[in-house]
Amino acid sequence: MLKAIIVDDEQLAIDALRWELETHCSDVEILCTIKNAEEAIDIINGLKPDVLFLDIEMPELDGFQLLKRITSKDFDIIFTTAYDSYAVKAFKASAIDYLLKPIEKEELCIAIEKVLSNKQNKSLGASLRLLMEENFINPTKHNSKINLPMDKKILLVNSEDILYCESEGSYTYVIMSSGKKHCISRNLKQFELQLPHNNFLRIHQSYVINLNAIKEYHRGDGGEVILHNGKNIPVSRSKKQNLLELILK
C-alpha cells in the first residue's frame, strides 16, 4: 500500500484527485491533504509518505521551492498542475510523472504504477534526489535492455532501437528501427513502465514514441508526428504542449 500526501492550494483540485485515487487506485492510502505549502513542509518531513502529489503554482512557495526545504526525501513525486509550462523542467528533473489538470484516470493509474514499480525495485526516492541535486539524466544511460515477452521466448532489445509502441487491446506492437514489428503479451500501459521516460513519451492513448525518432511535427488540433521511417502518428490535444516543449527545447 502506497502512503500518499496531496499538496494543493485549491480545495476543488484536492477533492477531485482524492476521488480519482479512492475510486481507481486501491493501492493508495491518502495520509492527508494540505492547502498551505509552508505547513506542508513539517507534515511531509514527519509523515514520510511514499508518494507526494504536488501542485506547482501555489502562493508563497511553489512546488519546487517547497521540495528544497524538505529534509526527508525518501519518496516519489507526481506533479499535478493546471499549467503545462513546467513540463520540460519536470521531465528533465526526473519527476516520476507530470499530470495536467483535469487529471485523466488512465494517466493517474500509469503514474501510480510507476511509483509501485520503483518501490518494488527498492529505488523509492531516487528520482526526487536527482531533482534536488539538479543532476539531469545523461541520455547515454538510457540505452538499456528492454525485455519483450512473447509466446515462447523473451527478446532483449536496446531501448534506443525502439521507434514506437502501439496499443492492440491487451497486447502491444513494438516497432523497431530495423523495421521489425514485435507483438508482446503486455498492454501499452504496462510496457510503458519499462521505457526510459526521458526518451519516450505517450503522445496518444494508443501510442508511445521514441522522441529521438521524430522527423517532423505537423500542426493541427493535436497534430501529428512523422517518424524517421515515415510513420504518421496522431498527437492527442492534451499531450500536444508537452511534446512541443520537449522537441523544441
Q: What is the pLDDT of residue 142?
A: 43
DSSP 237: G
Beta bridge partners of 116: none
Shared domain for 153 and 236, answered yes or no, is yes
Residues 186 and 129 in one domain: no
Q: Residue 180 is part of a domain; what is its CATH number?
A: 2.40.50.1020
Locus of grid cell 524517421: 228
Cα 156–Cα 77–Cα 40 angle in degrees, nearest 5: 170
Domain boundary residue, one of 133, 166, 199: 133
Residues 6 or more apart whose CB falls under 8 angstroms from that of 128 comprise 67, 73, 75, 76, 77, 94, 95
Mean pLDDT of the chain: 83
Looking at the structure, do residues 120 and 148 belong to the same domain, yes or no?
no
Q: Which residue range is the domain that position 33 belongs to? A: 2-133
- Are residue 93 and residue 200 in the same domain, yes or no? no
One domain for residues 104 and 152: no
Residue-wise pLDDT for 22-33, tens only, equals 999 999 999 999
What distance separates the 2 farthest-apart alpha carbons in the chain?
Answer: 57
Strands 97-100 and 51-54: unpaired
63 and 159 inside one domain: no
- Residue 213 to residue 202: CA distance in whole angstroms: 13
Confidence of residue 84 (pLDDT cuts 50, 70, 90): low
Pick from 47-56, 141-150, 163-172, 184-193: least confident: 141-150
Q: Is the dihedral of CA 228, 194, 105, 7 positive or negative?
A: negative
Look at residues 174, 175, 142, 143 and name the one whose alpha carbon lies nearest to residue 158: 143
pLDDT per residue as tens digits for the range 126-144: 555 555 544 333 433 444 6
129 and 37 inside one domain: yes
- The secondary structure of residue 136, as a DSSP letter, is P
Banded model confidence at residue 88, pLDDT cuts 50, 70, 90:
low
Instruction: Write the pLDDT tens digit of every residue in 33-70.
Output: 999 999 999 999 999 999 999 998 888 888 888 988 88
Are residues 120 and 193 located together in one domain of the fold? no
Whether residue 167 sits in one domain with residue 243 = yes
Whether 234 and 159 map to the same domain: the answer is yes
Residue that is last in its domain, among 107, 133, 159: 133
Count up the domains in the chain and report the number: 2
Give buried/exposed letters for 100-132 (b at 16+ CB in 10 A, else e).
bbebeeebbbbbbbbbbebbeeeebbbbbebbe
Domain boundary among 80, 112, 133: 133
- Tell me, yes or no, whether 53 and 76 share the same domain: yes
Kindly report the CATH number assigned to the domain that includes residue 95: 3.40.50.2300
pLDDT of amino acid 204 = 93
Predicted pLDDT of residue 135: 37
Cα-Cα-Cα-Cα dihedral sign, residues 68, 15, 105, 122? positive
Decide if 109 contacts 189 (C-beta within 8 A). Answer: yes
Residue 76 has pLDDT above 60, yes or no: yes
Question: Do residue 158 and residue 37 come from a single domain?
Answer: no
- What pLDDT, on the 0 to 100 scale, is given for residue 113? 87
Claim: this prediction has a pTM higher than 0.75 = no
Lowest mean pLDDT among 11-20, 149-158, 163-172, 199-208: 149-158
